[in-house]
Chains A and B, each alone.
Chain A
Amino acid sequence: MPTVLLLDTSLSMSRPVPSSDSSENHTRLTIASAAINTFLDYLSVHAKLEYVSLVTFSSSYEVSIPFTREYDNIRAKLPLLEEGDKTCIEAALLGVNQLILNEWGYQTPVQIVLVTDGTFGAGPIRRNQIIQALPLPPTFPVRISILPIVTPNDHSLQQAMPLYQKIIDLASNQNCSMGNILRGAIYCPDQLNVPGAITAMSRLCEQQYQEFWCSLKCGQLEARVQLFPAPQPASHEGLSATYTISHQLHVIGFLSQQDLGTPIALSKHLIIPQAQSNNSNNNRENFGSKTPTKEGSSTDGSTDEDNISDPSKVPNFCVLLHGALKVEGMAAVVQLGSDWWGTVSAWCEASRARRSCLLLSVLRPGASAAPWLGALDQLGPIDETATNPETFPVRSWRSYSGGGSGCAWARPHALLADVQKVLRHARKLPDKTQHLYKELNRLRRAAISLGFSELLTCVGSALERECAALGGSAPPECSLQLAHAAAALRDPRTALDIKHTLQPLAPEFTVASMSH
């Protein structure tokens, strides 16, 4: 997840640190810089795709380096930082919130690493005011870790500790659904010098920036992959269980991208194939390079060696899968753990049409995460049930029209529209006889279930009025039908019987004879 390095550059950071070794003059800021360099070193080895931004603050804040993967920019900036005035944490966090919302929106989990000097520049009363003013929790999921550059038994640290703890608690106590991320912590160095700060920072990195490795398995084919960003455990509303992704992702099968649609993904992760290391996965190596062809041709001995040293030349299942998914326009359904599924598809950024990669979409835990695919635990191969297989998408029974239930009369206009529809049909008899009775029955059913008998009486008299208003030129059938319908609506014997349906008057002989 993207990281904001929030570095305190207040004046108190420039306090020199007493040291036995007089050759080195360290201030808290230079120790902090060393710790940040350690942090960047760790990332460039373990998570070089993380975006990192450097924000400095004192009484105001400044985005020194916007989010970047070029960590050297941050390294170069560190010695050039100017010192400010006093520490003002709440203003800085407010600024960081703005920065993150503008850059990442509110759905991306973000880490903030706050490097400060263990003083917040005021007493306990001011501390409570600061706690009140903290802009936490933000609207985006966030994890805040704090590295105070101070000796552990410093008096000011004791003062500041409750504030730090509150910041961490508030940050993890958010109501975002996707915010099931781990908590941050305070990493206090054992002693106030460069190695102490570096150790504390390394501990932070190891705990908060764990890589996620797993193997992607498709039957017997398998590849070791890294998921980036590292997936977070998810929880299911209503169930206390949290779900963690297993370290073996099993492909269940494939389906076309069109059938898949847009799954309701909790998060998406790059699948980055990793070289098969020699000792851990010896069989794979054999499978890839020492194939019969190579065995047969004695001149290929040297390329064999090359292949092992250059992982990009060793065939990898991920690359094959990516190519095939792309060519066929399909996606793979993978099982992430018990009762948890995801999908793998070839994805490419619109702006970089040629740079395409494998993307894992982690669905909501549970079998109903993508309702149009049906229950996910019931996805299976077709040949065993050859008769009349169901197809995607699995349709829901929902209607949205409100017409089916006919009960959406809470707003007067809906009732009005339904009554007008009946009257419109009534005026167009005899052509619309069937329509008239269909609408009448619908109206009647709804009125009975709502206990709205007044309506039926009223519609009955409206039909009688239409009957009276018929001109002399109207066929006699019209008035007969209208009178029949009006009487049937108000018939006390069937008034409350939902199962009774109104029938048109029996067809007249004239009509019947015409049709012969």
Chain B
Amino acid sequence: MSRTALLVLADGRFPAGGHAHSGGMEAAVASGRVHDIASLEAFCRGRLHTTGLVAAGLAAAAAHGYDALALDEAADTRTPAPALRRIARRLGRQLMRAARATWPSTDLDHLAHHRPHGAHQPVVLGVTARAARLTPLDAAQAAAYESVGGPATAAVRLLSLDPFDATAVLARLADELDTVADSATAAAVRTATEGVAALPAASAPLLDITGEQHAAWTVRLFAS
């Protein structure tokens, strides 16, 4: 395995289209729920331990070699809001294009063939990590980081926050990111005996509700 592969995969400049998404931050800013650094941090912490944990579990299981199509179904059952399912699949398709060009693999080809409109992004992320010879923990770490990195960057643009302050939020969350990645990886290992029911299913009601509200906006800066 190459540590550099993880940096490439987790880099915001990796051409997978994530920059167009705020992870629910645009809706949170519009409603006034996020308005400063403290509320940004609370948003990121909440998202990390719900959406982020679920994504990390799916990614780790996919990197572990668990059936990606079964994981894609498991992602559906953990995503009751259709707007968020659509976004996850669109992001998955974009990541798939970049990943197949970067780390060609039969696993990626197989998933792309069976999910031509896109699989859930964390599943694609995990299969990509496997193709790049990364570990399940690496995949979980990348998924967990992405769950907060995107919203933090979006908040800087939406609220004109100081980017140093926003980056400090991510640094303060570092230990919790590690914990989430560890527990997601432990759950992924249990899928071998317990199936997908072992994977985290943490949910955040406001992300579901405002995700649907945001999808109905006619004018928006971010796609989600």
A in complex with B: no
Residues of A near any B CB (own CB < 8 A): none
Residues of B near any A CB (own CB < 8 A): none
